Structure 1
Amino acid sequence: MQRKSIALRGSAERRSYPMLRRYASHKYYFLMLLPVLAYFIIFHYVPIYGVLMAFQDYRIFKGISGSEFVGLKHFRELFDGIYFLPVLKNTLIINAYKILFGFPAPIILALLINEIMRPKFKKFVQTVSYLPHFLSWIVLSGIIIEVLSPSRGIVNMILMEFGFQPIYFLADTSWFRSVLVSTEVWKGVGFSAIIYLAAIAGISPDLYEAAEVDGISRLKKVWYITLPSIAPVIVIMIILNSGSIINDDFDQIFNLLNTNVQSVGDVISTYTYTEGIAKMNYSYAAAVGLFKNVIALIMVLTANTIARRFSDQAIF
C-alpha cells in the first residue's frame, strides 16, 4: 500500500513538471499579464474593504477602523426615503431600453457586415462603425449637444426645413431617455459586433457550400446556419449583459444630464456621486453602491442558472 501511494505521488510529480516547464517557457506572457492583474487588484479588490463604510457612520478623520458601526441603518434610509426609489426606477427603465435595443443591434450589424462581398468596403464599414467606441463620453457629449441644439443643431435645422418646430431633445423629459438609449447604441454597436463577427468567422464554409447546392437563399442561410452557429456566443453575452440592468453608464448620463430632465434621467450612479462626493454622505453612498452591485450579481447568477437549465451554454 505504501509503495502504491509513493508511486502515485511520483507520477503526479512527474505530470506537474511538464506543466511547470510550459509555464516557464511562457514566462514573458505572464509578465505582460502583471499590469492587468495589478489593475484589478488595486482598483477592484483592494477597494472591497471600503464596503464596511455602508454599515458605519463614516467619519474621514476616524477612518473605517474608528467609525461607529450602525448596522443596516443606511439601507433602511434607502427604502424609507423619497429620493432613492425614483432613481432606481429611472435606472431600470433606461437600462431595460438599452438592453432591448442595444443587445440585438450588434448581432444585426455583424450579420449585415458579413453579407458584404467587397473586402475593402467591408473593412471601411467596420472601421466607421466601431470608431465611436474609442471616443470618450466627454467628447461625444459635446458633439451630441451641438448636433441636437435647438438653435444651431443640424437635426433641428432639418426639422425646421420641413416646417416642424425645434425640439429641445436634452431638456425635454419625453425625449431625454430616447437620446440616452440611441447614443449608447450608436457608440457601442460597432465594437460589440466584433465579437459576433469573430464567431461568424469560425463557422465552417462547408455548411454554406452545402446550402448553396440545395438552393437555399441568403436569408435562410442566416436564419438556419449563421444564427444557430453563433447561438452559444449570444447566450454568453446575454448572461454577461444581464447585470447591466442595474449598472448604468455614469460618464454618459453625467455629461448629458441637466436639471430640466433630472426627474427622468437621474440614475443610481449619478445619485451616488451626488450623495457621496457633493454632499459627502459617504456611508449612505456606499450603501447605495453595495445595493446596486448585489442586485447586479444576483441578475448575472440568475441568468447563468437559467441558461444552464435550458441549454448547454453557461459561464459556470
Structure 2
Amino acid sequence: IWLMESYPRHPPLVFVNPTRDMIIKRPHPYVNPNGMVSMPYLQNWVYPSSNLVDLSRNLSHFFSRDPPLYSQRRPNPNPNPNFNPSSANSMVSSNSMSAGIVRPAIPPRAYPQSPYGSGGGRIQLPSPQRPPAATEDPAEAFKRNAINKLVEGLHSDIGALRKTRETEMEGLFNAQAVLRQKEEQLSKGFREMQDEKEGLEQQLQMVLMNADVLEGWLRENEGKMANMGNVDVDAAFEPCDALSKQMLECTASDLAIEDVMYSLDKAVQEGSIPFDQYLRNVRLLSREQFFHRATSSKVRAAQMQAQVTSMAKRASQYVA
C-alpha cells in the first residue's frame, strides 16, 4: 500500500507483489497483470469516511474469496534406478553359458553387515545426493537490492515529510489559538460598540426633545422682546409653572441666608457684634435655611417626576 502526497483526500495505490514461486491469477476481477489493485472501495474513496483500516478489511474479504496469487508447481527430479546385484549375477551366468565355457561362479562380494539388519537379503545402497544449489541470479540480487534501497529511501522521505507536516500542523494550531483570542476580542469590542450606540441614541433623543422645548419657548417669547424697554431684571424671567416659581423663591432665600451668615462671620471676627448675639442670629438663620432647602428638595423631586412623564409622552409621539 503506497500512500501518495495527496493522501488522505485521494486513495492510496495498492499493489500485489508476487514472489519467485508465485504468479498473478489471470484474469482477476480486481488485480491487473502488473499487480495493481482496483476495487470498489478505492474507486469510491471519500475523505474522511474512508481509511486504511476499512481498506485492509475489504482487501482481506475479497482476496479470501478469490486469491490473486497462486504458487507454481516445481518439476520432481527423476530418482536414480536402484542397483540389483542379483540381476548382475544372472547376466554373468548367461554370458558364460552362451560361450560354452563352464566358469566357476563368482562369489558375491562381501559387505559388512549393517547394524540395523538387512531387508530381504538385498544390499541397500546410499541414496544419491542432490547436487548443490545453483548460485543466485545476479539480476535477481540486483533487483532485490534496488527494491531495498528504494524502500529505505521511501521510509526516509516519509519520515521527513511527516516531520514537516507535524511542524506545519503545530503552526496552524498556534495560529488557530491566536485567531480565537482575536475573535473573542472583536466580539467584546462589537458588544461595547453596540452598547455605546444605544447610549448615544438615547442621548440624541434627549437632545432632540430639549431642542423642541427650547424652540417652543423661543416661539412663545419672541414677541415679548419688542416690549422690553424698561423691564426689571428680576421680572424678565417668569417661571413657567408653580413648581418652578417655588423652586426659584426657595433657592433665592437659601442663597440670601448664606450671604447673611457669611457677613455675620466677618462681623464677629472683627468684633462688630457680640458673640452671643452672633449665635442667636446664626441659629435663627440656620433654622430658616433648613426649611428652604427641604422645600427645594421636594420641589426638585416633583419637577423630575413631571419631566419623566413629559418625556414619556414625547417619546410615544416619536415612535408613532
TM-score tier, shorter chain, comes to under 0.3
Larger RCO, structures 1/2 (Cα 8 Å, 6+ apart): 1
What TM-score, normalized by structure 2, do the two folds share? 0.20
What TM-score, normalized by structure 1, do the two folds share? 0.20
Structure number with the higher helix fraction is 1
